[in-house]
């Protein structure tokens, strides 16, 4: 990624841009200044001073409004590359006595997120806005701009808000077909077919007390006159081991596609209740179940770097059911 220029240290903390009326005000100030110098009329000098004072007072009051406004980010549970996610922040006026008037939050591209006409001293409000992270990996939260046109609407003063927090952006999960999920390579190749909460229909049977009402097959029940429920197969009845083949160092696009497929597989398998593990060059996550474990695998995929993978050992052979994903 190209470094930002100028560096953050040298970028102004605040930027001021005149509004339409502000440009008029500046133009009049310049003309009046020239007229004052040309005529030597002190009353014109007085009016010129008044205009300049108006600009200064505007700057001081807008600074007073922006100062002391603090933002605390609210992070989403999971963030996937290429998918819109709602980011949030708690906006707090940390000033002890003065309100923050007429402040607005804008994204870096100038889109207004939310505006607060009045934020009393010590008062908090929550703001949320959609954002799409385009790449996987560890990324800093996007900054915001705190904007105000207070008090006269002549100048828009903006302050940069930089969040120090980072977010792990998971690879965009590819849509995985059932066939792909059951397409095993290596291991015993036999999946124990048993009842579960998958998507594949195993059989229809009569309703028994305790069955989930959502599984009632209403159409068949109506036709047969007895309550019939669907019995589903567990989709991943055996442990799923996702193996990343290759390092992905040759073709970044193939690498990203592979990681995306791996993420889709991991999510799909975890949702089916299977224990999922991940293995690949330089990456290894032991088997585990549940949402948090899925996030561990997604984190490993998000942070996968081909350069490190090259140096790592090749994945060890596994006795479990394996789904191989090519990265090269």
As to burial, measured by CB atoms within 10 angstroms (0-12 exposed, 13-18 middle, 19+ buried), residue 181 is: buried
Is 150 a binder of other proteins (CB under 8 A)? yes
Q: How far is CA 53 from the centre of its chain?
A: 44
Residue from 115, 201, 307, 312 in contact with other proteins (CB under 8 A): 115
Which has the closest alpha carbon to 159: 23, 17, 25?
Answer: 17
Residue from 74, 107, 129, 152 in contact with other proteins (CB under 8 A): 152
**Nearer of residues 147 and 260 to other proteins, judged by Cβ:** 147
Residue from 69, 154, 240, 297 in contact with other proteins (CB under 8 A): 154
Query: CA 326 → CA 68, 241, 250, 259, distances in Å?
Result: 52, 14, 12, 9
As to burial, measured by CB atoms within 10 angstroms (0-12 exposed, 13-18 middle, 19+ buried), residue 211 is: middle
Is 299 a binder of other proteins (CB under 8 A)? no
Is 34 a binder of other proteins (CB under 8 A)? no
Is 41 a binder of other proteins (CB under 8 A)? yes
Is 319 a binder of other proteins (CB under 8 A)? no
Is 239 a binder of other proteins (CB under 8 A)? no
Residue from 22, 32, 136, 244 in contact with other proteins (CB under 8 A): 32
Is 61 a binder of other proteins (CB under 8 A)? yes
57 three-class SS: helix
Is 165 a binder of other proteins (CB under 8 A)? no
**Nearer of residues 102 and 237 to other proteins, judged by Cβ:** 102
Is 30 a binder of other proteins (CB under 8 A)? no
Q: Which helix (H) or strand (E) holds 29?
A: helix 20-39
Q: Residue 194 in contact with residue 233, Cβ under 8 Å?
A: yes
The count of residues interacting with other proteins (CB under 8 A) is 40
**Nearer of residues 59 and 82 to other proteins, judged by Cβ:** 59
Least distance CB 108 / other proteins (angstroms): 19
Residue from 30, 56, 98, 317 in contact with other proteins (CB under 8 A): 56
Q: Which helix (H) or strand (E) holds 276?
A: strand 276-280
Q: Which stretch binds other proteins (CB under 8 A): 52-60, 79-87, 156-164, 233-241?
A: 52-60
In this structure, what is the dihedral angle of CA atoms 264, 265, 266, 269, given to the nearest 10 degrees? 120
**Nearer of residues 55 and 275 to other proteins, judged by Cβ:** 55
Q: Residue 176 in contact with residue 194, Cβ under 8 Å?
A: no
**Nearer of residues 42 and 224 to other proteins, judged by Cβ:** 42
Can you tell me the distance from the alpha carbon of 232 to that of 215, in angstroms, rounded to the nearest whole number?
9
Residue with token string 């036999």: 190
Least distance CB 53 / other proteins (angstroms): 4
Q: At 318, list the tokens.
A: 């596994």
Least distance CB 175 / other proteins (angstroms): 38
Residue from 50, 108, 128, 314 in contact with other proteins (CB under 8 A): 50
Can you tell me the distance from the alpha carbon of 123 to that of 119, in angstroms, rounded to the nearest whole number?
6
Residues 35-61 as b or e (16 or more Cβ within 10 Å = b) = ebeeeeeeebbebbeebeeebeebeeb
Which has the closest alpha carbon to 49: 38, 61, 37?
Answer: 37
Q: Which stretch binds other proteins (CB under 8 A): 76-84, 144-152, 212-220, 315-323?
A: 144-152
Is 151 a binder of other proteins (CB under 8 A)? yes
Is 94 a binder of other proteins (CB under 8 A)? yes
Q: Footprint of other proteins on this chain (CB under 8 A)?
A: 21, 24-25, 28, 32, 36-37, 39-50, 52-54, 56-57, 60-61, 90, 94, 96, 102, 112, 115, 117, 124, 149-154
């Amino acid at each position: 990624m190209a470094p930002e220029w100028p560096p953050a240290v040298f970028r102004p903390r605040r930027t001021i841009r005149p509004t339409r009326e502000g440009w008029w005000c500046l133009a009049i100030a310049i003309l009046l200044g020239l007229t004052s110098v040309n005529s030597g009329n002190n009353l014109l000098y007085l009016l010129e001073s008044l205009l300049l004072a108006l600009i200064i007072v505007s700057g001081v009051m807008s600074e007073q409004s922006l100062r002391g406004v603090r933002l605390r980010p609210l992070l989403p549970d999971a963030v996937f590359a290429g998918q819109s996610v709602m980011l949030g922040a708690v906006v707090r006026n940390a000033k002890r006595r003065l309100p923050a008037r007429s402040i607005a939050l804008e994204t870096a591209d100038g889109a207004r997120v939310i505006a607060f006409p009045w934020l009393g001293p010590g008062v908090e409000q929550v703001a949320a806005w959609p954002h799409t992270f385009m790449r996987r990996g560890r990324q800093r939260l996007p900054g915001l701009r705190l904007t105000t046109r207070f008090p006269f609407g002549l100048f828009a003063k903006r302050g940069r808000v930089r969040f120090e927090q980072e977010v792990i952006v998971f690879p965009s999960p590819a849509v995985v077909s059932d066939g792909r999920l059951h397409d095993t390579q290596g291991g015993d190749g036999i999946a124990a077919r048993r009842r579960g909460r998958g998507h594949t229909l195993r059989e229809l049977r009569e309703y028994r007390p305790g069955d989930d009402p959502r599984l009632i097959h209403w159409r068949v029940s109506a036709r047969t006159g007895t309550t019939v429920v669907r019995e589903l197969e567990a989709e991943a009845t055996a442990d799923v081991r996702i193996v990343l083949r290759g390092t992905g160092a040759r073709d970044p696009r193939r690498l990203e596609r592979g990681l995306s497929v791996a993420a889709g597989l991991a999510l799909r398998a975890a949702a089916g209740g299977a224990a999922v593990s991940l293995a690949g060059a330089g990456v290894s996550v032991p088997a585990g179940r549940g949402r948090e474990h899925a996030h561990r695998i997604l984190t490993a995929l998000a942070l996968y770097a081909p350069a490190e993978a090259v140096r790592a050992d090749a994945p060890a052979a596994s006795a479990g059911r394996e789904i191989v994903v090519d990265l090269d």
